[in-house]
Amino acid sequence: MLVKEISREIFTYFSFDEVIDKIEGFIHDDFLKSLTPNGIPSHELVLKRNRPIMLLRNINLSEGLCNGTRFIYREFKRNVILIETGICEYRGKQVFLPKIPFIPLEGSKHLVLFKKTQFSIRPYFAMTINKVQGQTLDFVGLYLPEPVFSHGQLYVALSRARTRENIKVIINLKEDIFSANSSFVKKNNIELYKV
């Protein structure tokens, strides 16, 4: 939804999906395209140039191409895309990223064993608390429509910004999310916005 709001040319990439066990060849392509297990990109990947994307798989750790790394989408080709690293010592480095095959783990909720070939990226505008752990950001906006799972998760989310002035928190007025952490919030002068 957010990608479509940005006024730039849209590039759409479709995955190539196939059943691994040829005995199950009666399965329709539309059904395979609808399957998107965790960690696997969707069938239709909509991108715009110079927009942020996130890598979904470890590709080359020595080059900084690892799961959860943020990139900027620069150029498109038919079977590769040019991405630019936006963080740490690799900032500004450009890399061509190919489509790679994804096979869901056995025992997942899907009864059909299939292979999806797609770029290992996803557009992003927000991250979960677990995904942001270990990263340092210039600004943090924390949206909490319901209480966080534990005190540790709240600490991780609030400690990602370089300074406390760059943290904004939106909470649900009906939920008292900060009751257990009120001293931490008051001590650090964190701005709360109630909705």
The pLDDT tens digits for 38-65 are 777 888 888 888 888 888 888 888 888 8
pTM of the full structure: 0.64
Question: What share of the chain has pLDDT > 90, as a percent?
Answer: 0
Residue-level pLDDT at 182: 56
pLDDT value at residue 2: 63
**pLDDT at position 188:** 62
The whole-angstrom separation of Cα 137 and Cα 90 is 16
Q: What is the pLDDT of residues 149-168, one digit of tens each?
A: 676 788 888 888 888 888 88
Domain ranges of the chain: 2-123, 129-194
Mean per-residue pLDDT, 11-30: 74
User: Highest mean pLDDT range out of 102-106, 113-117, 131-135, 145-149?
Assistant: 113-117
Q: Please compute the mean of the pLDDT values over residues 131-159 and round it to a whole number.
A: 79
CA distance 9 to 48: 6
pLDDT score recorded for residue 88 = 67
Question: Average of pLDDT values for 10-25?
Answer: 76
Angstrom distances, CA of residue 137 to CA of 132, 159, 165, 194: 9, 9, 12, 23
6 pLDDT more than 70: no
Exposed/middle/buried for 85, CB within 10 Å: 0-12, 13-18, 19+? Answer: buried
Q: What is the pLDDT of residue 22?
A: 66
